[in-house]
Amino acid sequence: MIDPASGPLRVRRGIAVTALTIIALTLARPGMAYTEAEYEDASRALRAVYAGDNAAIPVALDKFKALSPAGSADPLVMVNVGAATSLQSRATILPWKKISYAEDGMAIQDKAIALLTPAHDASLYKGTPVSLHVRLVAASTFLSVPRFFNREAQGGKILNGIMDSPLFEQANPQFKGATWMRAARWAVDEKRLEDAKKYLLIVIERSAPQAHEAAAQLAAIQ
């Protein structure tokens, strides 16, 4: 998953996946084998990892794995298991281990995306389709890992697909803002500053919850 970037629109090229808001949004939907509180407990551990607590990595991984019984396949849980798996690369100094953890985590996220069905489009959390949550977490992973993993094109395609989807219009403002902010980060990383400004302006004009942050970052790249 994404490590919180320090500085205006700075993206770390290590193993990271998405902004803190993305995981906060991916809460359990009704009818799952786990409760919203249980999902939030696992998410809290993962947020601790994003904040720099590498000791929380195995805790987050174990908690997410515990949400999905053996033999079950829940894309929402699976995509976060993949995130926690990739984040294990932060806790090792061995280069081959770093690569292995990253690749294993992304492979899990590939499976999560492959499991999505129209039922996940219809299943909502606070008005946002679960399928979009899953795709945003995965896209953020693929856009954050080093380029030698050759995942940037895939991540960009998924991210653009989210914004182009008719489902995106029904997403809640927090999710939309997180998506536009991620698109801005990607644009800056590719030195597409005009595109970055466009996404930041959308966040501001739509009065998304991230509007204040977007304004600060827009001022930094003007």
What is the C-alpha separation between 147 and 13, in angstroms, rounded?
Answer: 8
Q: Which residue is it, tokens 């005009």?
A: 194
Residue 179 near residue 136 (C-beta atoms within 8 A): yes
User: Measured between alpha carbons, how far is 114 from 214 in angstroms, rounded to an integer?
Assistant: 32
**Average pLDDT over all residues of the chain:** 84
Residue 122 counted as domain residue: yes
Q: For residue 199, is it within any domain?
A: no
Domain, as residue range, for 114: 20-170
Amino acid found at 40: E
Note whether residue 56 is domain-resident. yes
Q: 62 vs 41, 67, 90, 143, CA distance in Å?
A: 11, 9, 17, 25
Asked if 137 and 179 count as a contact pair (C-beta separation under 8 A), the reply is no
**Does position 27 have pLDDT exceeding 70, yes or no?**
no
CA distances to 21, 42, 132, 182, 214 from 210, in Å:
10, 24, 18, 11, 6
According to DSSP, residue 207 is labeled T
Residue 16 clears pLDDT 80, i.e. is over it: no
Question: Which pTM value belongs to this model?
Answer: 0.82
Residue 40 or residue 102, greater confidence: 102
Do the domain assignments include residue 219?
no
- 3-state class of 49 per DSSP? helix
- Which two three-digit tokens encode residue 35? 């409760």
83 domain-assigned: yes
Number of domains, the chain = 1
Neighbour count for residue 192 (Cβ, 10 Å): 15
Over residues 56-84, the mean pLDDT reads: 87
User: Does residue 48 lie within any of the structural domains?
Assistant: yes
In a domain, 30, yes or no: yes
Supply the pLDDT for residue 137: 87
- What is residue 144's predicted lDDT score, i.e. its pLDDT? 84
For residue 209, tell me if it sits in a domain: no
